[in-house]
């Protein structure tokens, strides 16, 4: 079953060394319990402070990703 980052929606890859999932896009790490808890939160809860923080983080991430891409060209 493929898993996706709860922060940015990126693909999660299993890190054998850390024994947890890490996001290819933002580098967040998740274990199984964190992943299922995060999925429950996303499904059940209206937006709160955590969600607003998360959105600010992803806006920062967009900026960071695009600046990185510019440097690569």
CA distances from 3 to 30, 32, 42, 46, 60 (A): 10, 10, 14, 22, 23
- The CB-of-13 to Zn ion minimum distance in angstroms stands at 11
**Are 7 and 30 in contact, with CB atoms under 8 Å apart?**
no
Closer residue to Zn ion in complex, CB, 45/64: 64
Closer residue to Zn ion in complex, CB, 9/52: 9
Please report, as residue ranges, which positions from 10 to 39 form the binding site for Zn ion (by CB under 5 A). Answer: 10, 23, 25-26, 28
**Does residue 5 interact with Zn ion by CB under 5 A?**
yes
């Amino acid at each position: 079953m493929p898993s996706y980052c709860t922060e940015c929606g990126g693909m999660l890859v299993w890190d054998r060394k850390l024994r947890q999932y890490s996001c290819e896009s933002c580098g967040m790490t998740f274990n199984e319990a964190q992943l299922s808890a995060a999925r429950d939160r996303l499904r059940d809860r209206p937006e709160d402070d955590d969600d607003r923080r998360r959105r600010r983080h992803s806006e920062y991430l967009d900026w960071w990703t695009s600046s990185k891409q510019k440097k690569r060209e």
